Amino acid sequence: MTSSAPLIDQFARRITYLRLSLTDRCDLRCAYCMPERQTFLPRAEVLTLEELYTLALGFIDRGVTRLRLTGGEPLVRRDAIDLVRALGRKVGDGLDELTMTTNATRLAECAGDIAAAGVRRVNISLDTRDRGRFARLARRDSLPQVLAGIAAAQAAGLRVKLNTVALKGVNEDELPELIAWVHGQGCDITLIEVMPLGEVGEDRFGHYLPLSVVRERLEKMWTLAPSDHRTGGPARYFDVAETGGRLGLITPLTNNFCDGCNRVRVTATGQLYACLGGNERVDLRAALRAAEPEAALAAALDIAMKIKPARHGFAIDRPGRAPALTRHMSMTGG
Ligand code: SAM
Ligand code: SF4
């Protein structure tokens, strides 16, 4: 097998999509994502910009055509824009698409640079448009910066998709208004069920809101027509007749979507996680720092294809159940 052989796992799924985390750090503390006093990785353990770039090239060489930069919050890393610029040059030369998931707190300053580097789309997380609620949920009073970031992204010509975690007793009453607002901005929105990743200092069962319930409620108000739109990801889409916009639903807990999985994730320390919901991993940092990095990286990616599991093992089925995994979403890269 040559080093440029496509990445195909043991279940014949072709891996063409990489989520690369630039940092596990964040300027917010969303209650479902991490505790207030989160312990972050020592900076020395995090991959350098050059290592991240080499890693990305290794994946592109093996047929990865879509690359999403994430975190933690990718834009809290000072050299993030340098990496975006370097990888932006690969768009059309190996990469079909370079995207980013961000909380948008710093997007107002850099949306123009990101667009100029070749990024066409960004995903922005927004769980509420109520300032007090935002401050309680994210534990930081940053809604004005986030809204400015969304506006700046649109002004820079970036296509914006909003991601919203549906939370019982937190934002469930606001979801129709939020969806209508996002559609009014000309953007799509995807709702996500809360996933049991890492201890956050509270029981997630209390906030778990099945999207089957949300869908039933929305269908009492609106006409939701199943859409053919696909992104190769886990979301199923609906066209909302009344708002004229598209609504995605990501239902890891009520509907398993693993059969068509096309992705792997790499943490900021170079740990490849074959599944967001599993512990199967390969140390790519060791490969990058080996005597012959190119060969070591290719061999490590081959191992990853052998250990990628058939499906995730999430469940939030009863109060007090321990998280499925001890690591937080901010570490694996959401
Ligand atoms: N900081 C960036 C952001 O918030 O967009 C990127 C990283 S964040 C981990 C990526 C996505 O994961 C966000 O949309 C966030 O809402 C989601 N997320 C974090 N923890 C989650 C959890 N336990 N269950 C479901 N989604 C979660
Ligand atoms: Fe930070 Fe994103 Fe996690 Fe919120 S969801 S704490 S913004 S990494």
pLDDT in tens, 78-109: 999 999 999 999 999 999 999 999 999 999 99
- Among the ranges given (18-27, 93-102, 114-123, 269-278), the one the predictor scored with the smallest mean pLDDT: 269-278
Atom of ligand 1 nearest to the CA of 28: 1
End-to-end CA distance of the chain: 31
Residue pair 304/282 in contact (Cβ under 8 Å)? The answer is: yes
Q: Which pTM value belongs to this model?
A: 0.92
For the chain, percent of residues with pLDDT exceeding 90: 74
Dist. CA 72–CA 70, nearest whole Å: 7
Atom of ligand 2 nearest to the CA of 26: 1
pLDDT at 2: 46
Closest CA to 62 of 120, 134, 14, 29: 14
Residues 6+ apart with CB under 8 A from 133: 170, 171, 174
Average pLDDT over residues 16-33: 95
pLDDT at 230: 79
Residue pair 241/225 in contact (Cβ under 8 Å)? The answer is: yes
pLDDT at 316: 47
Residue pair 129/173 in contact (Cβ under 8 Å)? The answer is: no
Token look-up 């970036």 returns 158
pLDDT in tens, 131-172: 999 999 999 999 999 999 999 999 999 999 999 999 999 999
pLDDT at 1: 44
Ligand 2 in contact with 70 (CB < 6 A)? no
Average pLDDT over residues 104-129: 97
Ligand 2 in contact with 266 (CB < 6 A)? no
Give the pLDDT band of residue 232 (cuts 50, 70, 90): low
Amino acid symbol at 207: H
| Mutation choice for ligand 1 from 165, 178, 325, 332, CB with most ligand atoms inside 8 A | 165
Average pLDDT of every residue of the chain: 90
pLDDT at 300 over 90: yes
Nearest CA to ligand 1 atom 17: 334
Closest CA to 209 of 222, 220, 225, 193: 193
Report the topology of domain 17-332. TIM Barrel (3.20.20)
Residue pair 299/282 in contact (Cβ under 8 Å)? The answer is: no
Give the pLDDT band of residue 309 (cuts 50, 70, 90): confident
- Among the ranges given (29-33, 192-196, 287-291), the one the predictor scored with the smallest mean pLDDT: 192-196
Residue pair 49/83 in contact (Cβ under 8 Å)? The answer is: yes
Dist. CA 17–CA 26, nearest whole Å: 24
| Mutation choice for ligand 2 from 33, 36, 328, CB with most ligand atoms inside 8 A | 33
Give the pLDDT band of residue 306 (cuts 50, 70, 90): very high
Amino acid symbol at 291: A
pLDDT in tens, 257-268: 677 888 999 999
